[in-house]
Amino acid sequence: MSRFFKLEGKVAVPVSSGELMQWLSSDPNRSVQLDEFTSAGVSVRVSTSFLMGVNHRWVENAEPLLFETLVFGGAMDQSQWRYSTWEQAEAGHQVVIEQLLREMPTLTRVVTTLESPRLTRYERILRDICQSPT
């Protein structure tokens, strides 16, 4: 089983570590969906995205875990779910929002969008390494 993947459209395809570094250096948008909510001074963000192209499942012969939903703030702060496909990630994102709204019914949705590509510090370092002349 491959350890590394890149997105071709909404499909994760196995690649070598070098191909992954090249793909990451192109600054791809890996976001599936972002929703932000507010209520009485509380902000909640639900973000679902492709996980840096690294399979987060360490079990042989099992579907890779390549997508993740994270909740920041509110009753479900720091909760996390992982998925194998873009479609599972989209569906899981909606389930998380439904659960969040049941737990915090006074939340008002502020924005629903695809998250703009914001690189983590680690991703910026990888990009810079890949782009630096040798």
The pLDDT confidence band at residue 116, using thresholds 50, 70 and 90, is very low
Domain extent for 109: 4-131
Please indicate whether residue 67 or residue 125 has the higher confidence score (pLDDT).
67
What does pTM read for this prediction?
Answer: 0.80
pLDDT digits (tens, 9 = 90+) for 34-80: 999 999 889 999 999 998 888 888 777 789 999 999 999 999 999 99
Of 40, 56, 11, 14, which Cα lies nearest the Cα of 105?
40
Give me the amino acid identity at 61: N
Instruction: Check residue 30 and give its pLDDT.
Output: 86
Q: How many domains does the chain have?
A: 1
